[in-house]
Chains A and B, each alone.
Chain A
Amino acid sequence: MPDLLIELFSEEIPARMQAGAAEALKKRMTDGLVEAGLTYGHAGVFHTPRRLTLAIEGLLAESPTQREERRGPRADAPAKAIEGFLRGAGLTRDQVEERSDKKGSFLFAVIEKPGRPAAEIVAEVLTDTIQNFPWPKSMRWGAGNLRWVRPLHSILAILTTEAGTIVVPFTLEGLEAGTKTRGHRFMAPDAFSVSSFEDYAAKLKRAFVVLDPQERADHIWNDATNAAFAAGLEVVEDPGLLAEVAGLVEWPVVLMGEIGEDFLELPPEVLRTSMKEHQKFFSVKNPKTGRIERFVTVANRETADQGATVLAGNQKVLTARLSDAKFFWENDLRVATKAQMQPWLDQLAQVTFHARLGSQAERIARITALARDVAPLIGAEVTLAETAASVAKADLSSEMVYEFPELQGLMGRYYAKAAGLPEAVAAACEEHYAPLGPSDAVPMAPVSQAVALADKIDTLTGFWAMDEKPTGSKDPYALRRAALGVIRILLDSGHRVNLDRLFDAQLLRHRVKIDSDDADTDEISALDDILDEIADHGVFGAAIRTVIERLGGDLPFLNRLVSEVPDASTDLLGFFHDRLKVHLRQDGMRHDVIDACLAMPGNDDLVLLVRRATALSAFLASQEGDNLLQGFKRANNLLSQAEAQDGVAYEYGADPKFAETEEERALFTALAAARPKIDTALQAEDFATAMEAMADLRPFIDGFFEAVQVNADSAIVRRNRLNMLHTIRETCLKVADLTRLEG
């Protein structure tokens, strides 16, 4: 069986696109070949900056013959019908058979499609693959119409068998497949012919091309770590950079160079970022001091002077880059030490955060106000949280962050320290952005947490105040990530926070900004009073009504807020609950269990909510729990049916004196004993105990249903029993809304 080798040789393919393109080449080619009937043994793909290569082993030499049988009209059908059938089958009358069955004699056509040679099929599939290739961005060149990521220069496409090599008969837009390729652009630029994949890979290596990207990456990493080790240093790992660099070279040559003495005092993150982003250098650090002292660059060739000129050139460029970085660092330090970052904060008044939510300075003021509210709830010192919130974003105006946006926060930490601020404040400057992703660490320091919570809640409430919520895959401000961050911070530390109240307060602060144009100034200034009242009463509705009464008169804006703020707040809480469900699903928590707990009061306290859900989950996993749930459902169903049928709510206390059986009386006693136990446990938020107490009811409920007919003949007894079921329902619903549970 033949082996197939295809190489698409082009001008330099962006490093970040190579791996995806190689996979797409493999998928589209193999899918197309298999669809045409050509199965194969194994397919491998490779990529370098200038080529995508596909090697398929054990391809069928031709597609199998296909045999198709078609049943036609009766043998004595009108001539027209027979003609049509023959035309459709592409046969003549003497080529079709007559076969008889019970219904009569019919015409049958047997159509054989002969197999086709692999070369022909490969050419077709390759044409289709090239013409419809899924490049993230593609282009035309010269006067042609073909699209590729960069100009496509030549195509190598051969089938190799023991008998020899044949070229796939492929032509497209003036490109004709052949047996030739080229080596390294500078070290071996001439074309050469190959006869098989082995021949190709071997000749390429002699022409200074390492075909396999993994081999290039391994080579780079080995040489880099060896060079560093020999100097008593180590290379800072960076898999993303390694893959990128391996995509920029065909013949990697590792060179290690020194970082000028002048720059060694720059923060290591600055050195690393500058070297990586601008130059694609690896950092080499001294394991004893943690300082970055050298760099590794990867050239694409060997040179007559063993890389001396290349290294000197790279060093010079690095010096220019780091001179810039040092200049930024020193200027920034001056602003931090001499002016405590104030000029940056002033500048942030000119920077828009969002057209409707105002400037960064306005945003910082809101976050600071909220951080003040949050701090006492999570055990953070209020003045520290306030200070931290007010400077946490100052570094956005620094020169370093302007140059390297990815250093935001980290530079804030350095500069806050330089400004003489307490360590907790400096840490918050960096940590308040966290957690950034589901696997990113959660800040643990209380001050950092206060600012992190305030920052995220401010963003979320801002977009809810404008009614701009994430939809589908569109979430440009990463609001889902922000909500998950709040959830993780609260749950990880077990902080008991009623989010509702914080949402209300922050929604109000946003409305002040958003509505400042169309609301009365008195009304806007009244918002401060409402915020004070919320701080006193804790409840938005009472606070705003108090203030409206106090002001009297016509207050359309405030009256609108009476419903709009709680509506937005509730909706945002629902968004949090959805995120929470997704988050807990990873731990195997059933969504209906969470739903059962969401229906209970205090559901804006996520820690309480999760505690209840955890207890319920464990309870349901036990035998008692499951049985009790069945008993509850039976009671609930019976009661609901009766209530619907009678049009009455049976919610008066049942009276033991109408009890007729032992089982009934026993249930009365058990309920009477369980209720205070459950209440006490719930009071103490001890859900496990409450559920145990509920589980204790199980034998009595089971006994009751076994012994007693609820729908008794006596109306009085029946009513009493229904009222009894209501007591069961009411008692169980104190713990969670069991009606939401499935199964």
Chain B
Amino acid sequence: MAEATTRPKSFQEVILRLQAYWAARGCAILQPYDMEVGAGTFHPATTLRALGSNPWAAAYVQPSRRPTDGRYGENPNRLQHYYQYQVLIKPSPPDLQELYLGSLQAIGIDMDLHDIRFVEDDWESPTLGAWGLGWEVWCDGMEVSQFTYFQQVGGHDCHPVSGELTYGLERLAMYVLGVDHVMEMPYNDPQSPIPLSYGDVFRQTEQEYSRWNFDVADTEVLLRHFEEAEAECAAILAEPFADPKTGKRIVMAHPAYDQCIKASHIFNLLDARGVISVTERQAYIGRVRTLAKACADAFVQTEAGGWQPADSAA
């Protein structure tokens, strides 16, 4: 476990150390997904890759958006745009807890001084039709990560089971760096020629998006986009597997899943605009779940999802 235990100097150093640590443990370091999502779990490298029998090991940073959490950059801990660090390994290795603890050490948490606890916290995503068992990990009473063994995604049983780790990067980095307000956290090395704080990078965008999310986003346009994404997702999946142009078997799980992600994010925006009533809420969540399930059904029909040409012959 012994690795660099010096304290990092900046937000980005925390990220870089996590990247180096998980790269050294054999994970493919992926890049963020290029769409708006509510959490790192939505990245297809997690949702879709958790399905099927193929082994997988990936780690990545995922910018995440939760419009309802916007506080115009004033709240020390809440942001409508923030970063998650996500690790997904399938099958979950027997020493995943130890690997995880090693990552905390790598970002400068001294195991001899801190009290790390695994406290029951089962994870469920009604929009993804997914659930798993695990913990929230406490460091001296503060939640620093979510640790989940995926049991179901998109209505499919996970077998083998993936182990998923999610770090809330801002909160974790604030803790490691000893900063009380997120906007005051050094983004790069404070000794740099041009030192930048988190606030220098994000305070203005937090204000702009808070205003747009809460008061300006055109709800009629959003409602229409939701319907369109939903229809497009279904249309993509309705296409036959055989591509008439190339004559190849091409199941379009990912393009369909993009529409599912889109619908999910639009739902979050509508929620922030306060135009979704309590009863409608459940209905919208159910609609997104239907898309997620259809995409999962499609993905397991692809080679990445464990489908093999021999299957069709059998």
The chain A residues found within 8 Å of chain B, CB to CB, are 11-12, 14-16, 49, 137, 139-143, 149-151, 153, 186, 248-249, 279, 297, 299-301, 303-305, 309-310, 312-314, 316-318, 320, 350-352, 355
Contact = CB atoms under 8 A, between A and B. Distances in A.
A12 B97 CA distance: 10
Nearest to A249: B117
Nearest to B55: A143
B69 interface: no
Given A142-B161, A309-B113, A309-B114, A151 B141 contact: no
A11 B140 CA distance: 19
A150 B149 CA distance: 9
A209 to B, nearest CB: 15
Nearest to B160: A143
B115 interface: yes
**Size bin of chain B's contact surface:** 35 or more
A150 B94 CA distance: 11
Contacts of A352: 277-279
Interface string B61-94: 0000000000000001100000000000001111
A313 B149 contact: no
B91 A301 contact: no
Given A139-B132, A355-B279, 6 more contacts: A141-B91, A142-B160, A186-B112, A248-B117, A300-B115, A313-B141
Contacts of A279: 141
Interface of B: 76-77, 91-94, 97, 110-120, 122, 132-135, 139-142, 149, 151, 158-161, 163, 175, 277-279
Contacts of B111: 186
Given A139-B132, A142-B160, A317-B142, A303 B115 contact: yes
Contacts of B141: 279, 297, 313-314, 317-318
A683 to B, nearest CB: 55
A313 B140 contact: yes
A108 to B, nearest CB: 54
B120 A301 contact: no
A137 B122 contact: yes
Contacts of A153: 94
Given A12-B135, A139-B133, A141-B149, A310 B114 contact: yes
A153 B93 CA distance: 12
A320 B114 contact: no
B244 to A, nearest CB: 38
Given A304-B113, A310-B115, A317 B120 contact: no
A301 B111 CA distance: 11
B138 to A, nearest CB: 9
A248 B94 contact: no
A318 B278 CA distance: 32
B161 A141 contact: yes
Nearest to B1: A189
Contacts of B122: 137
A385 to B, nearest CB: 30
A11 B120 CA distance: 11
Contacts of B279: 352, 355
B142 A137 contact: no
A248 B111 CA distance: 18
Nearest to A14: B120
Contacts of B163: 141
B77 A142 contact: no
Contact of B113 (A14, A142, A303, A314): A303
A149 B134 CA distance: 9
A61 B307 CA distance: 53
Given A141-B161, A142-B94, A142-B160, A248 B113 contact: no
B133 A150 contact: yes
Nearest to A323: B76
A303 B161 CA distance: 35
Contacts of A299: 115
Contact of B112 (A151, A303, A350): A303
Contacts of B94: 142, 151, 153
14 contacts: A139-B161, A141-B149, A142-B91, A143-B159, A143-B160, A143-B161, A150-B134, A303-B113, A303-B114, A314-B140, A316-B142, A318-B141, A320-B77, A352-B278
Contacts of A350: 277
Given A303-B113, A317-B141, A143 B132 contact: no
Top 7 A-B residue pairs of the complex, sorted by shortest distance between their CB atoms: A313-B140, A14-B120, A12-B118, A314-B141, A143-B160, A299-B115, A143-B91
Contacts of B110: 309
